Amino acid sequence: MENLDKMVDSRRRLQLRLVPFPPPCYSSHGLLLASARSCHVPSTDADRCLALGAPLLAGCTQKPATLNHVTGKVSYKGALLRTGVIVFTPDTSRGESGKIAFGTIKDDGTYIIATDDAPGAAAGWYRVTVGSLSGVSATYDSAPISLIPEKYRDPTLSQLQCEVVANRDNHLDFNLD
């Protein structure tokens, strides 16, 4: 019986896998959303409940952030971008935390930032990333072509940052070079 218990315990440990270097996570616009050194993959019903329930419990204890209106334009080398996405990630190097805010770049180069489904972003400092893909690829199997340098898709490489100021309309334009 003791050997059976050891085998079951050993099997459970194998089911909870650590994935050492997962590939980065990209949005449908090709923007780097996340990259992690390790990832816990839930394999039992109890693990799935914990993984899904923990964010809900955390949300119950936090006061919702007041969102501030954020709009602007995005251009590359002086020409307005006509497609893409812009993402505001709280700047942890300045002590910021919270939710990521994002907006879709429209045909006229403008964007409106939203957090979850609500318009606006919490006040604070953000690192900014921009992704803009052509939608046309060289072959059926190849990925779409980026209209701007790849560095703008990574929050540490883009060197774009901004401050969203509380209790006012924030108009933030970004001219990429």
What secondary structure does DSSP assign to the chain, as a single string? -HHHHHHHHHHHHHHSEEESSPPPEE-TTS-EEE--S-EEE--SHHHHHHHHHHHHHHHHHSPPPPEE-EEEEEEETTEEP-S-EEEEEE-GGGT--S--EEEE--TTSEEE-EETTEESEESEEEEEEEE-B-S--SSTTSPPPBSS-GGGGSTTTS-EEEEEPTTS-EE--EEE-
- End-of-domain residue from the set 15, 34, 61: 61
Count of domains observed in the chain: 2
In terms of pTM, does the model score above 0.95? no
Give, for all 177 residues of the chain, the pLDDT tens digit: 555 454 444 444 433 333 333 344 445 445 555 443 333 333 344 343 333 444 444 444 455 689 999 999 999 999 999 999 999 999 999 999 999 999 999 999 999 999 999 999 999 999 999 999 987 656 677 778 999 999 999 998 999 999 999 999 999 999 999
pLDDT of amino acid 160 = 97
Q: Which domain holds residue 30?
A: 2-61
pLDDT of amino acid 144 = 83
Q: Which residues of 164-174 are buried (b: 16+ CB within 10 A; e: fewer)?
A: beeeeebebeb
Do both 84 and 32 map to the same domain? Answer: no
Do both 105 and 148 map to the same domain? Answer: yes
Do both 147 and 99 map to the same domain? Answer: yes
pLDDT of amino acid 65 = 81
Do both 77 and 8 map to the same domain? Answer: no
Do both 44 and 71 map to the same domain? Answer: no
C-alpha 112/C-alpha 89 separation (Å) is 15
Q: pLDDT tens for residues 14-62?
A: 333 333 333 444 454 455 554 433 333 333 443 433 334 444 444 444 5
Do both 165 and 108 map to the same domain? Answer: yes
